[in-house]
Amino acid sequence: MAADSLTPLGHVTVTSDIAAAAGKVFVAMDDRIVVADTQGVLAGNITGLAEVRDLVTSPDGTRLYAALRGSHEVIEINTDDLAIIRRIDLAAYHCPSRLAMSGHRLWVSHGCPWEGSAGALGLDLSVPAPQPAVVSLDNPAQAPRIAAAGNTLVVADFWELRVYDLQDGVPALRGAMDAYDHGLWNGWGQIALTPDGATAITTPGAVNDFDAWDLTTLTKSRSYGKEEGTLDYASPTISPDGKQVAVTRGTDDVEDAPLVLFDLNTGAAVETFDSQSLVTIYDLVFSGSDLFAVIENTLNGTFHLWRMHGATLPPCKMTLTGPDTSGRFKEATFAGRLTRPDGANPGVQTVTVSRRPWGESTFEPLPDVTTNADGTFIFSNVPGVETQWTYKVYYDNTADSRSCSATKVVEVSGW
């Protein structure tokens, strides 16, 4: 199985959203949509678009919808051959910005930053020419946040989060929550819904933890991230099974802005992913057990598609021991152990071995090593003339576990 990957996307002015369906990953890149397969390999582009601002896929994965702010329309794309098969004119509702799907209905929030008026509407995609059905709101000044799942639609302006029941596609207001009443002094942030539409995950508009809300009782059910300290959480994204939520975690130091995966029910942080350093992380999407993110290298302004293979799977465990010091050109012996996520022995497996001299950024491969049935293994190597070597052992994903690795640093001196 393939390991994590980082695919260059090039230089762009704006990137805003990512979606996945039909064995493909779609990235909104302002004037185009970049398409990759689920290994992270680029597979094409949908070009000639005007300010792509959001993407959403149909429940069956056969269609991709894109909000084009520049041309005031929503386009429908066949995810098989990437052909644009329908354009829905929203010239009367300027700047479509955010999208959500429920069944065969597409929900659109709209509003140009320079106009000071906005709103939300629904489109019945089962008919050839969908007519906008306006969602009743209290005159928001900017395009509201919008999310839909199950029979629930959520629309959040800066201060007010409104929850609607979807009865035959017609939104009926269930209730509303005021950010001020819940101590969210900077308003509502981003929103994600569990697949059944029963729970909303929201990030606040400023540095804080993030929360889960029971959309039946309209009350807070849990806060996440408190044990992580005061950090800026963003881009909440819920796994397809509704058990985990991924968020970006920012700090004052952009080099320390990883992704964190939380257990949605317990609130525990179950996995933290190295953010590749010196990057800004944008939107996230799950594709099966994999997690994809769009990231920007803040030094040169280039964008990349980052694939975290098997992100939702429990990780295996790896240990590696060896000498702290070694003489130049003298053989050093290392011992390690691979263990399954549940602590059981893995049986005979192949472990990848590599090494990296001080000052280099990449590891050079060494011969693979085969474990014993209990997961233990031994290998030997002769360090070169450099004063420090880092040895790494790695075991790739399996169908039921995420990869794991371990390293050992050896200082080299004398002869």
Please give the residue that has the higher pLDDT: either 153 or 186.
153
Tokens standing for 327? 């003489």
Q: Using a pLDDT cut of 70, give the percent of the chain over it.
A: 92
pLDDT tens for each residue of 22-76: 999 999 998 999 999 999 999 999 999 999 999 999 999 999 999 999 999 999 9
CA dihedral for 274, 278, 281, 286, sign (positive or negative): negative
- For the chain, how big is the Rg over CA atoms in Å? 24
Residue 200 clears pLDDT 80, i.e. is over it? yes
Q: Confidence class of residue 15 from pLDDT cuts 50, 70 and 90?
A: low
Residue 289, phi then psi, degrees to nearest 5: -90, -5
pLDDT of residue 255: 43
Residue that has been written with the tokens 């399954």 in this structure: 340
Alpha-carbon distances, residue 12 vs 20, 30, 296, 303, 324 (angstroms):
21, 7, 10, 8, 46
Q: Confidence class of residue 150 from pLDDT cuts 50, 70 and 90?
A: very high
**Please, where are the H alpha helices in 206-332?**
none
Label the pairing between strands 73-78 and 84-89.
antiparallel
The greatest distance separating any two alpha carbons of the chain, rounded to the nearest whole angstrom, comes to: 80
pLDDT of residue 407: 96
Residue 157 clears pLDDT 50, i.e. is over it? yes
Half-sphere exposure of 201 (CA within 13 A, CB side): 27
Contacts of 249 (CB under 8 A, 6+ apart): 225, 228, 231, 232, 233, 257, 258, 259, 260
Residue 399 clears pLDDT 80, i.e. is over it? yes
Distance, CA of 332 to CA of 329 (rounded, Å): 9
DSSP 208: B
pLDDT of residue 249: 77
Residue 113 clears pLDDT 90, i.e. is over it? no
Residue 336 clears pLDDT 70, i.e. is over it? yes
Average model confidence (pLDDT) for the chain?
A: 90
The mean pLDDT value for 207-223 works out to 88
Residue 371 clears pLDDT 60, i.e. is over it? yes
Q: List the beta bridge partners of residue 282.
A: none
Tokens standing for 124? 């019945």
Q: Confidence class of residue 111 from pLDDT cuts 50, 70 and 90?
A: very high
Q: Model-level pTM?
A: 0.85
Alpha-carbon distances, residue 102 vs 21, 35, 124, 168 (angstroms):
16, 24, 10, 11
pLDDT tens for each residue of 114-142: 887 899 999 999 999 999 999 988 888 89
pLDDT tens for each residue of 285-308: 999 999 999 988 877 888 899 999
pLDDT of residue 240: 93
Please give the residue that has the higher pLDDT: either 79 or 9.
79
pLDDT of residue 360: 86
Phi-psi region of 288 (alpha: psi -120 to 50; beta: other; left: phi over 0): left
Please give the residue that has the higher pLDDT: either 325 or 11.
325
The mean pLDDT value for 242-265 works out to 76
Ranking 218-227, 302-311, 357-366 by mean pLDDT, the lowest is 218-227
Residue 275 clears pLDDT 60, i.e. is over it? no
